[in-house]
Amino acid sequence: MVALLVAMILALLRAFLGPGLYNRILAINNFGTKTVLFIAVVGFLFGRPEFLDIGILYALVNFVATVAVLRLTHYKELLSGSGSKGGE
């Protein structure tokens, strides 16, 4: 559990200090994956197998949110670059 917490803290640091937008999105996705692992480990250590269901639900939400943010950034790039098509 301690190793997962350290990895989660490092992922958050990368998210706040990352050099670019996509590196920050990847760090947040990495943090979500570590959170799912943490929930699974806590459920195993405390004998609560229903925590796995919570972890799976969190993984699905993390995946959908990551795809939504990536699509949003893609559309923002398209809209901001639409005025400079290079002589068309």
CA distances from 34 to 6, 72, 79 (A): 10, 24, 33
Q: Give the C-alpha separation, 58 to 42, whole Å.
A: 14
* pLDDT at residue 82 in the model: 57
pLDDT for the residue 17: 93
62-87 pLDDT per residue, tens: 999 999 999 998 888 777 875 445 44
Distance (Å) of CA 58 to CA 24, 39, 83: 19, 9, 39
Q: pLDDT tens digits, residue range 26-69? A: 999 999 999 999 999 999 999 999 999 999 999 999 999 999 99
Q: What is the pTM of this model?
A: 0.81
Give the pLDDT band of residue 10 (cuts 50, 70, 90).
very high
Q: Which two tokens stand for residue 62?
A: 């993390």
**The two structure tokens encoding residue 47:** 């004998």
How far apart are alpha carbons 68 and 27 in whole angstroms? 15
Which residue type, as a one-letter code, is found at position 78? L
